[in-house]
Structure formats: structure tokens, C-alpha cells
Amino acid sequence: MRSVTLKQLRALAAVERTGAITAAANELAVTPPAVTAQIQLLERIVGLPVLERAGATFRPTVAGRELLDAAARIEQALAECGGALDALKSLDAGQVAVGVVSTAKYFAPHALAAFARANPRIDLKLVVGNRAEIIAGLERLDLDVAIMGRPPEQLDVEAEAIGEHPHVVVADPAHRLAGRRAIPAAEIARERLISREDGSGTRALTERLFESLDERPRYALEMGSNETIKQAVIAGLGISLISAHTVAAEVADGRLSILDVTGLPIIRQWYVVRMRGKRFLPAARRLHVFLKEEANRFLPVVPGLQPAEPQRRRARN
């Protein structure tokens, strides 16, 4: 059956519709002998007759009917494929795979939801993971775009900044350092520190901070998500350097306190990132432009955190 061609199946379908070789040839814009040749080749491949005479017309045999059913499914699949390809050519339709580092999940879904409302024919596939997982998705070309902090240096990417990303040290409001002013950054190294796992952007930032202070931090706990870190800090198990955008709600309702550490917040940037080697289809390009222009307005407002100043510590990108 692998030798059966679409041309043969379409010849059979035309004869079934018209009941005659000549009429089928006219429909297909070929000669009657060409239609007869295609039917004969088809019968030779399947080893069974596919048409039989019924008076002055032709009708399909049982074998012919099986082939016609298969042909109808093939034509439907091709029509659906054609529609999908047309959508890929369109600016307002198609599918986009978006990677979001877990720290960005506090604002990225709101930005993506706004894009989806404005572009209902574009399907978004959202993948949330830590920094290493999102970088792997970019490298495999599984992701069209990604929202993350520091762009991966090991990959050939295009990265556009979409907004400031402050990092702060948070503690239980009852912590001894809560409410103190101008806490030396080196003093933080002597506290019980709760950190993200290796491979996360926040952990890398924490390591760079203490390296710059020539200090070795006391890691009391290592956790795989910002949510568990927040609960641990609220419970009084330690303090944490964390994205200010992840703690906006807890600071607002008084469950967490931002420590006034000299040189902080550390100001990073949020980026929309894409691989240069991945073909950029219109729907993905439309989302990319939206994120560059609009994502900033979805960033959380952190109570008590002032806009970045020149003297504040800025992370290397």
C-alpha cells in the first residue's frame, strides 16, 4: 500500500463521483487514458478490482470503497494541514511556545493573558521551570521565546530587556534585623540563609553577592521553589535573598519584611530571549514585540521599595 499515490486515489474518487471515466478526466483536467492508467495501477498495487460496471456507469467495489474512505481521511488531513500552515503565515493565528523561569511566574502569566485576550487565535504553550530547564528548552529549540533574568552566555540568543528586576533580603517581621537601618551586607552572611537550588538564577546571584563581599554564607536550607522559601522565612527559619517581585503580596500584608541592607536592592533586568537559530514565525514575532513593549506594566509593585538609584548595587548581566 505504500506505493499507492494521491493521484491514483483522486482518480478513483473522481470516477466514483461522476460515474464515468470521461467525466472524471474532465474534472481532473487530464485525458481519459490517463485516468484509466491510474485506476489500473491502483488495482495492480492492491491486487483487487476497485471499480465495477453498473450499466453505463462505474461504481466502487468493496475494495474500492475502502480506498475511498482512506482517501477521504487523507484529504481531510491535508485540508487541516493547509489551514494550520495558513495560520502560521498569519500574524493573528498560530502557536507559540513560551518558557518562563519560575521566578517570573508572578507577572508573566498576567502579561501572557493580556496577549491572549488581544490575540484569541494564537495558542500559547506555557512552560515554567528553573533557569537550567528554560535554557535547555531554548537550546533544543522547543521554545520560541523565554522570559528570564540574565540571558544564557553559552547560547547564541537575542535578548531584549523588558523591565527592572530588584532582589532584596527578606526576613520574618519579628527577626532581630527587621526595622534596622543600613545593615552592612557582610552581616547578612552570618545569618541562617535559605537559598534556591543550584541551577537557579537566584542562587547564582546569591553566590556572586557573597563572592563580591569576600564572605562565605551560612546556607541553612536549600529549597526548590520560591513559595517554599517564603514559607520558611515566614516561619522564622532564616532569611533569604530573593526576587522582590516574588514577595510583593507577602510584604504588602505584613508577613515578610524587606531588610534595609546597604547596597541593596540588587537591580537585575527581566529579558525576553529567543534563539537566533530558530525560525521566527509571525505569531511568535507578534508575542515578542508585545513583551518588549508591554511586559513592563505587569511587573509587581513592591511596597516600600523605591525605584533603583545609581548607587545601588547592579548585578552583572
Residue 297: pLDDT above 70?
A: yes
Last residue in a domain, options 89, 119, 146: 89
Say yes or no: 156 and 100 in one domain.
yes
Residue of higher predicted confidence among 2 and 301: 301
pLDDT at position 126 is 96
pLDDT at position 83 is 65
Instruction: Say if CB 144 and CB 98 are below 8 A apart.
Output: yes
Mean pLDDT is lowest, of 66-70, 120-124, 195-199, 260-264, for 195-199
Last residue in a domain, options 62, 89, 116: 89
Report the alpha-carbon angle 135-141-147, nearest 5.
Answer: 45
Say yes or no: 20 and 43 in one domain.
yes
Say yes or no: 256 and 274 in one domain.
no
pLDDT at position 270 is 96
Residue 313: pLDDT above 50?
A: no
Instruction: Say if CB 151 and CB 269 are below 8 A apart.
Output: no
Q: In angstroms, what is the C-alpha Rg of the chain?
A: 31
Say yes or no: 171 and 200 in one domain.
yes
pLDDT tens sequence across 48-97: 999 999 888 999 999 999 999 999 989 888 876 876 777 667 667 788 99
Residue 314: pLDDT above 60?
A: no
pLDDT at position 277 is 82
Say yes or no: 149 and 292 in one domain.
yes
Residue 193: pLDDT above 80?
A: yes
Say yes or no: 138 and 215 in one domain.
no
Q: How large is the average pLDDT for residues 212-218?
A: 81
Last residue in a domain, options 89, 124, 155: 89
Residue 309: pLDDT above 50?
A: no
Mean pLDDT is lowest, of 38-47, 245-254, 301-310, for 301-310
The answer as to whether 244 is a domain residue is yes
- How many domains, in total, are found in the chain? 3
Say yes or no: 151 and 172 in one domain.
no
CATH of the domain at 131: 3.40.190.10
The answer as to whether 313 is a domain residue is no
pTM, rounded to two decimals: 0.67
Say yes or no: 145 and 212 in one domain.
no
pLDDT at position 91 is 65
Neighbours of 286 (CB within 10 A): 20
pLDDT tens sequence across 128-179: 998 999 999 999 989 999 999 989 999 999 999 999 999 999 999 999 999 9
pLDDT at position 52 is 93
The long-range contacts involving 177-182, CB below 8 angstroms and separated by at least 24 positions, are: 177/239, 177/259, 178/257, 178/259, 179/257, 180/259, 180/260, 181/260, 182/260, 182/262
Strands of the chain, DSSP E: 51-54, 57-60, 94-101, 122-129, 145-148, 157-171, 192-196, 218-223, 240-243, 257-258, 266-275
Residue 98: pLDDT above 80?
A: yes
The answer as to whether 314 is a domain residue is no
Percent of the chain with pLDDT over 70: 94
Mean pLDDT is lowest, of 8-17, 30-39, 190-199, 266-275, for 190-199
Say yes or no: 109 and 228 in one domain.
no
CATH of the domain at 68: 1.10.10.10
Domain that holds residue 84: 6-89
Percent of the chain with pLDDT over 90: 67
296 pLDDT tier (thresholds 50, 70, 90): very high
Mean pLDDT of the chain: 89
Residue 186: pLDDT above 80?
A: yes
pLDDT at position 93 is 76
Residue 308: pLDDT above 50?
A: no
The answer as to whether 102 is a domain residue is yes
The answer as to whether 306 is a domain residue is no
